Amino acid sequence: MNDMSGMRVNNHPILHPQDGRFITICLDGQPLPAVEGEPIAAAIYAAGYRVLRRTRRRGDPRGIFCALGHCTDCTMEVDGVSNVRTCITPAAPGMQIRTPEREGAQ
């Protein structure tokens, strides 16, 4: 799952990935490679993951949908902050990313 040769975002209208320098972020306690400055969601996708969260009521999987910060499909917990849009949030060394819990799910 951690194949760094996966597709990367090299040209983004909002974010500006740094010179291809690989850093390490953490997803649910596991180290994950990312290019510094690329969208967090891009790093997660490049590692092979497609589900970023699940809907509250039915548990339906959600991943990148708009990739522009307009929907909330990619929201995750980042460094203790809930509901962060990971498609427009740049990856930085040591970031702690958590898959949101399904509050109220039964």
Give the interface with ligand FES as residue ranges (CB under 6 A): 64-67, 69-74, 85, 87
Closest separation in Å from C-beta 13 to ligand FES: 13
Closest contact distance (angstroms) between CB of 43 and ligand FES is 14
Closer to ligand FES by CB, 4 or 68: give it.
68
In the complex with ligand FES, which residue's Cβ is closer, 21 or 55?
A: 55
User: Measured between alpha carbons, how far is 67 from 104 in angstroms, rounded to an integer?
Assistant: 27
Q: How far is the CB of 63 from ligand FES (least distance, A)?
A: 8
**Sheet holding 22-27: strands in order across?**
30-35, 22-27, 96-98, 75-78, 81-85
CB of 73 or CB of 77, closer to ligand FES: 73
CA atoms within 13 A on the CB side of 97: 30
- The CB-of-62 to ligand FES minimum distance in angstroms stands at 8
| Gap between the Cα atoms of 34 and 41, Å rounded | 10
Closest to ligand FES by CB, 19 vs 97, is 97
| Closest listed residue to residue 27, CA positions, set 73, 84, 76, 60 | 76
